[in-house]
Structure 1
């Protein structure tokens, strides 16, 4: 696990294309994954957030996680719009957990101003919701009918948040 660099953009693009090809793999559809999208979030997260990549023994990027601040001072303590992508062939092998644990560790140890991390999960993705809960995220709300689901029906978007524990505050 390491911090992402702009030079990782092509590898991250390939990762997102592969993940988006799996129904429900990402919120974005395959045609919404563009080099511009990747460069935009990478620049934003490197500059005002956090992006990490997981690299296998062969040097291949097999996962990426990122979140950034929204730009308003009142929310300066929040990393939002967290997105994680793990290559389909590497899922269920611990890469996602390692990425997330490292992400939270970097926030806790190196970003004392960050007190909250936010993400969303479609209600049908119960496996992901359980995973996020195991990492300390709590379901905080439900946006009814917000997501046009994989099966062609509308489903709820579950809003989840992680709060810095008082013991880890400076």
Structure 2
């Protein structure tokens, strides 16, 4: 059954808790979303609060996918670029699909819903994201239309002796 996507949902305690659970579960399953397992909800909470602050200030939007049981199953944060010469594209951050839903095409659905949402925004021509090298993520994003436009070797230190590339991807919307 497909996910139901909502752009800019009301931030309720249930949504907050669902996002914390999603981010924790994805991180602990080895997902490349800013943490290395094991991680707790309390370790992730400050980053989520930062996203909420950005949204409250009008600098970002949240896209959430709920499953058939109403649980948070996927999410992505859309963040406007504040540099006055780069406001024609935005960032896609913290792209996640819950491990219990992976392999069902929901990641592709999430990226499609994000692109559709951005296409409805005035003056935005492209979506930019970065991903951690070494996991095949750039191949997945490329299969969704993103193009690799840059790579910083060894920019992400997962652990001592385990440095990964920071891969920059772009999806032109025109």
**Pairwise same-fold verdict (TM > 0.5):** yes
4+ runs of 1 displaced by more than 4 Å?
Answer: none
Distance in 1, matches of 2:55 and 2:125, equals 17
**Alignment correspondent of 1:5:** 10
Q: Displacement of 1:163 after TM fit? A: 1.3
Distance in 1, matches of 2:160 and 2:145, equals 29
Distance in 2, matches of 1:149 and 1:35, equals 20
Instruction: Answer whether contact 1:16 1:33 (CA < 8 A) is retained.
Output: no
Distance in 2, matches of 1:13 and 1:111, equals 27
**Alignment map for 1:70-89 (pairs within 5 Å):** 70-89=81-100
Unaligned ranges ≥5, structure 1: 166-170
Matched, 1:28 2:35: yes
Q: Displacement of 1:82 after TM fit? A: 2.3
Whose helix proportion is higher, 1 or 2? Answer: 1
Over residues 107-132 of structure 1, what are the superposed CA-to-partner deviations in whole Å (9 max), with x where a residue is unaligned? 11x20311121111222121x21221
Could you tell me which of 121, 141, 147 is aligned with 1:138?
147
Distance in 2, matches of 1:123 and 1:116, equals 22
Moved more, 72-81 or 60-69: 72-81
Instruction: Answer whether contact 2:76 2:92 (CA < 8 A) is retained.
Output: no
Instruction: Answer whether contact 1:122 1:156 (CA < 8 A) is retained.
Output: yes
Instruction: Answer whether contact 2:154 2:166 (CA < 8 A) is retained.
Output: yes
Over residues 6-64 of structure 1, what are the superposed CA-to-partner deviations in whole Å (9 max), with x where a residue is unaligned? 22222111110111112244232325843232132134246233321110111101110
TM-score w.r.t. length of structure 1 = 0.85
**Alignment correspondent of 2:49:** 39
Matched, 1:65 2:76: yes
**Alignment correspondent of 2:122:** 112
Instruction: Answer whether contact 1:45 1:66 (CA < 8 A) is retained.
Output: no
Instruction: Answer whether contact 1:23 1:150 (CA < 8 A) is retained.
Output: no
Q: Displacement of 1:152 after TM fit? A: 4.4
Distance in 1, matches of 2:159 and 2:106, equals 24
